[in-house]
Amino acid sequence: MRYREEFIVKPGAKLHLDQIDPAYKGRHESHDKAAPEIAASLEQMDRLQNLLYADGNQSLLVVLQALDAAGKDGVIRHLFTGMNPQGVRVVGFKQPSAEERAHDFLWRVHQNAPARGEVVIYNRSHYEDVLVVRVHELVPRKTWSRRYDLINDFERMLVANGTRILKFYLHISPSEQLDRFKQRLDDPQRQWKISESDYDERKLWPKYIEAYQDAIEHTSNDTAPWFVIPANHKWFRNLAIAEIISDTMDGMGLKLPSPRVDLAEIRKKYHAAADEHAPTKR
Ligand code: ATP
Ligand code: MG
């Protein structure tokens, strides 16, 4: 079975995150064994992104959501840096600015949606408005609970306009998160990433899990599915996501556009001379 089928959250299904093993390794035993498959998926993604760009009719939106240190940045570094930067954009969503707060919650998100031909990765997204906002009670329940429908409508509109949407929740265990915080603490290259608020947020783990379950259950559908990716093993997380993205792009029916000019005509006009590089005599 492909990971697309295995990890998709079926529309209408109940999600029990506590029953999904974050350390799952699927059909693979180790990174070494999986490495050739990861490389093949990355090659395929690169090839298909070129087609997407050339085709210019559709676009791809990848949403990454997770608790701190679950690997959003790692996914971006490992899976998208192989693509042509011309057609790929990463957008990070932090706490909204005063201007953003003065608009509806989808305003900043819509502005950054992919144009035709583009791949856009959201590092956090509009889902923060039903996750952190809910957990910290930044707006009343009646406000955030209405947002699921608004999100579904918004995403349906993007899809109708030619965008494929794939949403990934990177699923790690609390102990794996603590290990990763500790590694950051001990690594001079990454100490800047640690903040005490990361440790405070950890205490809210069960509330976040509840918020994630609700959000995913309400917004996983055929047009914009969610995937829960076991992410304790970084290589497995990369493997599964790369496979899902490349399978999806493969099914988008992308093709090179036909040339807009008469090739035979151009050949005759500019390349007929024996030495085409010879300067023309006046
Ligand atoms: P890192 O892995 O480097 O910590 P990060 O994505 O956690 O990356 P931070 O700058 O640490 O980046 O955190 C951004 C913060 O902004 C997160 O705590 C997130 O919950 C918060 N945020 C994002 N969107 C919203 C929103 N709509 N309302 C309130 N907070 C938000
Ligand atoms: Mg953070």
pTM, two decimal places: 0.94
Neighbours of 108 (CB within 10 A): 17
pLDDT in tens, 202-259: 999 999 999 999 999 999 999 999 999 999 999 999 999 999 999 999 999 999 999 9
- Return mean pLDDT, the chain: 95
Q: Is 282 or 16 the better-scoring residue by pLDDT?
A: 16
Q: Determine what percent of the chain is predicted with pLDDT higher than 70.
A: 97
Residue burial 14-27, b: 16+ Cβ < 10 Å; e: rest: ebeeeeeebebbbe
Tokens found for residue 195: 């903040």
- Beta strand segments in 109-162, E: 119-123
**H helix runs in 102-193, sequence order:** 107-111, 132-135, 141-160, 174-186
CA distance 232 to 87: 30
User: Looking up tokens 């209405």, which residue turns up?
Assistant: 146
Q: Is 24 in the pocket of ligand 1 (CB under 6 A)?
A: no
Q: Is 197 in the pocket of ligand 1 (CB under 6 A)?
A: no
Q: How far is CA 149 from the centre of its chain?
A: 21
Q: Which of 91, 93, 95, 212 is the pocket-test mutation for ligand 1 (most atoms within 8 Å of CB)?
A: 95
Q: Is 201 in the pocket of ligand 1 (CB under 6 A)?
A: no
Domains of the chain: 2-276 (3.40.50.300)
pLDDT in tens, 117-165: 999 999 999 999 999 999 999 999 999 999 999 999 999 999 999 999 9
CA distance 272 to 282: 18
Residue 53 near residue 249, CB atoms below 8 Å? no
